[in-house]
Amino acid sequence: MSVSAPAPLHTIDLILKKRDGGRLDAREMAFLAKGAAAGTIPEEQLAAWLMAAWLRGLSLDETRALTLAMRDSGERFSPARLGKKAVDKHSTGGVGDKTSFLVAPLAAACGVAVPMISGRALGHTGGTLDKLESIPGYRTALTLTEFEAVLAKCGASIIGQTRELAPADRVLYALRDRTGTVENPGLICASILSKKLAAGLNGLVLDVKTGSGAFLRRREDAEYLAALMVATAEAAGTRTVALLTDMSQPLGQAAGNWIELAEAVELLRGQRREGIEDLRELSLTLAGWMIHVGGQAATPEAGKARAEAALADGSGLRVFLEMVAAQSGDTSVFDDPKGFHKPGATEVVEAWESGFVAEMDTTALGWAVQRTGAGREKAGEPVDAHAGILFHARRGARVEKGQPLATMYATRTEMLSEAAAILKQAVRISEAPPRAVALVGRAFTRETAETYLQSSGQ
């Protein structure tokens, strides 16, 4: 008896199927992911399929199939030789989110290997790689052999996506940024997890943002994304936890490139100040979970205490500087971070009335940061290392008319006016203080994620 070969696949059929509300199976997802990675499917067809998926949504099974197909579009990294558990943290994207620069060295200082594969700015959100490249010489493009050598030496390494790992995501991520197809739970899940699963991690801590600066602003959408990612990663064999965290205002004070690194290093030096306490708290919480998932603490709370000790004794800072040096970065810029900061143009935005900072449209603030020159309009454009915005007042703060609200650093003077106009529209000052929002919300583990997905009918 002969078994007939499956019919050949054609991209146009998969576009029509998704456009008309159909569901793709694992073979069809593998065809798309391989075609994206190899460049055999033209970008316009990939973009059309992405838009159909964005509009129609992806089922749980489709999301799992796409995630695995994208993971398998390239090679796999094996951290087993490092002799430690490998745990990474990934955020769904935010404004001023520089926790990676803290959690990677803190978890590494506590005995966990942190092979962190990060992205560039996407939409209104900043990119870890763009920020790191503001350090002169820092190499974000390492081969897997170099990556392993830095990990063996320092315990942590932060690099960009390589040609080898999940190459389908490199193509699809850049296309989504240009075609308005970022904010979809299935696509976000497949994008993030394909890279993480290809990195052979033992554990993963996900920071799922919610609020005005998140890709998925509504809490119920962020919860669904968190549960979806945990269930998908656990089904693929990686111990995963997701925390819902607040993005209704920028994290810390700085949003940009160099200014974010300088702020993170201030905390690694053990310094504390009111405007950046949220960044410290979230970083310690995430690092605590990483240390726990990496088997170096019995509970996330015990992990947090270890992370706090690594902050206090300077071991986190040491690992960070070692990692920068191992990736050819010039660590002397951290001797005088203010002296190194040389923006093209500076302007202070003052409060236009007295009252409480009641609301921040953090997505709009992210676009204001991008307009200073810190982000890019088109893929491949350079970003300005010294552009960005320092926010002086947080949500709920009382401000008086004329008090500095933000300091903007732009590439050129003429870029300041557009950024200032967006910023003024994005911040609402009112007579009454706003309702406080918790920085860290619900945590999803395998059990809670599965229960959530079952009860949500997915």
Number of Cβ atoms within 10 Å of the Cβ of 1: 2
Annotated active-site residue 195? The verdict is: yes
Tell me whether residue 200 or residue 295 sits nearer to ligand URA (CB atom). 200
Q: Per rule CB under 6 A, is residue 96 in the interface with ligand URA?
A: no
The stretch among 128-136, 188-196, 199-207, 329-337 that binds ligand URA (CB under 6 A) is 188-196
Indicate which residue of 90, 306, 371, 386 is catalytic.
Answer: 90
How many residues bind to ligand URA according to rule CB under 6 A? 9
Q: Which residues contact 338 (CB under 8 A, 6 or more apart)?
A: 262
Q: b/e for 123-137, b at 16 or more Cβ within 10 A?
A: bbbbbbbbbbbbbee
Please give the single-letter amino acid code of residue 206: L
Are 331 and 324 a contacting pair, CB within 8 Å?
yes
Q: What is the smallest separation between the CB atom of 184 and ligand URA, expressed in angstroms? A: 8
- CA 205 to mean position of chain CA atoms: 12
Q: Per rule CB under 6 A, is residue 192 in the interface with ligand URA?
A: yes
Tell me whether residue 210 or residue 411 sits nearer to ligand URA (CB atom). 210
Indicate which residue of 89, 195, 392, 442 is catalytic.
Answer: 195
The token duo for 410 is 């732009």
Q: What is the smallest separation between the CB atom of 230 and ligand URA, expressed in angstroms? A: 16
Q: How far apart are CA 306 and CA 190, in angstroms?
A: 32
E strand map for 257-314? none
Q: How far apart are CA 175 and CA 189, in angstroms?
A: 16
Q: Which residues contact 54 (CB under 8 A, 6 or more apart)?
A: 180, 181, 183, 184, 187
Q: Per rule CB under 6 A, is residue 92 in the interface with ligand URA?
A: yes
The stretch among 137-145, 146-154, 184-192, 278-286 that binds ligand URA (CB under 6 A) is 184-192
The stretch among 3-11, 185-193, 256-264, 388-396 that binds ligand URA (CB under 6 A) is 185-193
Annotated active-site residue 169? The verdict is: yes
Tell me whether residue 35 or residue 93 sits nearer to ligand URA (CB atom). 93
Indicate which residue of 56, 71, 124, 176 is catalytic.
Answer: 176
What 3-state DSSP class applies to 155?
A: coil
Q: Per rule CB under 6 A, is residue 63 in the interface with ligand URA?
A: no
Q: How far apart are CA 206 and CA 440, in angstroms?
A: 12
Q: Per rule CB under 6 A, is residue 93 in the interface with ligand URA?
A: yes
Q: Per rule CB under 6 A, is residue 205 in the interface with ligand URA?
A: no
Indicate which residue of 191, 194, 212, 248 is catalytic.
Answer: 191
Q: How far apart are CA 226 and CA 391, in angstroms?
A: 29
The token duo for 409 is 């650093």
Residue facing ligand URA at closest CB distance: 191
The stretch among 53-61, 97-105, 187-195, 424-432 that binds ligand URA (CB under 6 A) is 187-195
Q: Per rule CB under 6 A, is residue 165 in the interface with ligand URA?
A: no
- Decide: residue 187, CB within 10 A, 0-12 exposed, 13-18 middle, 19+ buried: buried
Are 264 and 101 a contacting pair, CB within 8 Å?
yes
Tell me whether residue 369 or residue 410 sits nearer to ligand URA (CB atom). 369
**Length of the chain (residues):** 458
Annotated active-site residue 176? The verdict is: yes
Tell me whether residue 57 or residue 433 sits nearer to ligand URA (CB atom). 57
Indicate which residue of 97, 169, 246, 278 is catalytic.
Answer: 169
Q: What is the smallest separation between the CB atom of 212 and ligand URA, expressed in angstroms? A: 17
Tell me whether residue 92 or residue 232 sits nearer to ligand URA (CB atom). 92
Q: Per rule CB under 6 A, is residue 188 in the interface with ligand URA?
A: yes
What 3-state DSSP class applies to 142?
A: coil
Q: What is the smallest separation between the CB atom of 176 and ligand URA, expressed in angstroms? A: 7
Q: How far apart are CA 92 and CA 108, in angstroms?
A: 22
Q: Per rule CB under 6 A, is residue 119 in the interface with ligand URA?
A: yes
Q: Per rule CB under 6 A, is residue 191 in the interface with ligand URA?
A: yes
Q: Per rule CB under 6 A, is residue 213 in the interface with ligand URA?
A: no
Tell me whether residue 112 or residue 188 sits nearer to ligand URA (CB atom). 188
- Mark residues 121-140: x for contact with ligand URA by CB under 6 A, - for none: -x------------------
Query: Quick one: angle between helices 185-198 and 43-56, nearest 10?
Result: 120
Tell me whether residue 182 or residue 264 sits nearer to ligand URA (CB atom). 182
Strands 203-210 and 239-246: parallel
- CA 443 to mean position of chain CA atoms: 18
* Residue given tokens 């569901």 in the structure block: 23
The token duo for 271 is 């310094």
Catalogue the active-site residues: 90, 169, 176, 191, 195
> Which residues in this chain contact ligand URA in the complex, by CB under 6 A?
92-93, 119, 122, 173, 182, 188, 191-192
